[in-house]
Structure 1
């Protein structure tokens, strides 16, 4: 459980419609729906005072409530998860909000704990949000545009995110490590509210990566390295992999 004075909650943004796999969050994952598995995994970490699913879907809302969980129905349509969460937390008395992906039911307690620890010594509130990265070694993985790459400075603050392999390896002897961005975020509430108010700029629009907006407006993103690789359920094949892992 959180031992600092910060009030920390987890939010799980959940859309029913998904372009590649519609209704994926309501698919059966060994006796429970994907979204229910994700919700229970977040609660079971013991890291949060409260956990909520925030959704535009009556089906998902009712699934969580029926199973004794906490859910919030979005009042408006939202382009991204950050906007959906910002609407939900606007009138809540919270300090840190952790965004858990609804289609990633395998949650690593240690990674989330490391993410939240970033804020413990940050008394001057220089860190606006924190996120995870993991090293990539295979060329196919590095060049895949579905894998968002992140580059950082020497203190592990994000410099840029891209679907393109950055940095470009002009000097092949430089032995650069490529890092994949894992889309789990811990936000200060104010950074989240600022994001919600600020319009999208050209870099975010070009890459279709929402966290670029924070960088374009001068927010600081602390990256935390992890070796944990969950499984995001984007296809029917991913769901089968998850079923095997749960077995």
Structure 2
């Protein structure tokens, strides 16, 4: 008899004594047991390690409801994302199983902060009402991802335009390469979104829409750049559905 089955029986016996282990009645335990059998693993902790799921987090998912009123001991959505990959089921399926009593599950999705304006230049900034923007779980798991709101149309041209009012998602762990759209912090403290190019004297930043009225020059040399903040990995337009 496996340790898992023994623990389940101990939890079920009760007899007025505190349970050493809770009853395992999570909503997808059958899928978890089947996946463990598929992977040739008999111990939940070892299976959790294989798929990068926290051991305590997996235990939480397997515990399930713990009161007569039906209160869940719920895993967080990042755990469900990893569990979905391990079970080969859609993430939305697991969300429906564990958060079926919530009216709005959109609030469960990870968000990244909008940390300021980009491409505006001094004197044109204004308060940003939105403080956060929801992102796909794959982006959230990268780690250091932030967002900026775009002011100006200096990059509103070419096959992947970035226009006034857009929100751009930036991966701060990826500084980009020649040809990438990047966000840079300049020596004057302002942030710009430009195309990273290379010339005879080294790298420089350039606008894709030189005809735009912009607070910064069309071409910015590296001597004016304090740091490359990161590569633009997603553009969100206010007109997008």
TM over 0.5: no
TM-score w.r.t. structure 1 length? 0.28
Tell me which structure has the larger Cα radius of gyration: 2
Is the helix fraction higher in 1 or 2? Answer: 1
